[in-house]
Amino acid sequence: MSDTVHKKIEVVGTSGESFAKAVASAVAKASESVRNLEWFEVTELRGRITGDKIAQYQVSLKIGFKLD
C-alpha cells in the first residue's frame, strides 16, 4: 500500500433552507473544480437574520482531498 498526501481547503456554503443544504451546496461547488474529494469537517455554523426570520444558513467547512 502506498502512502498518500491530502490537502485541505476551507469554503463557506449557504442555503435559504437549512444547514444540511448549505453543506451540500459547498461540497457540490467544490467538486466542480477540485478532484478526489474525500471528507469534510464543519468548523462553524452561523446565519443571517432579516427582520425576525432566518434569511440564510451559512456553514464553514474544511474539505479534504487526495493529491494526485
10-48 burial: b if 16+ Cβ within 10 Å, else e: ebebebeeebeebbebbeeebeeeeeeeeebeeeeeeee
> Nearest 5°: CA angle at 10, between 9 and 12?
140
The confidence score (pLDDT) of residue 2 equals 77
28-45 per-position pLDDT tens digit: 999 999 999 999 999 999
- For domain 6-66, give the CATH superfamily: Flavin-binding protein dodecin (3.30.1660.10)
Pick out the chain residues at pLDDT < 50.
Answer: none
The confidence score (pLDDT) of residue 1 equals 61
Alpha-carbon distance of 47 to 58, in angstroms, equals 5
Domain extents in the chain: 6-66
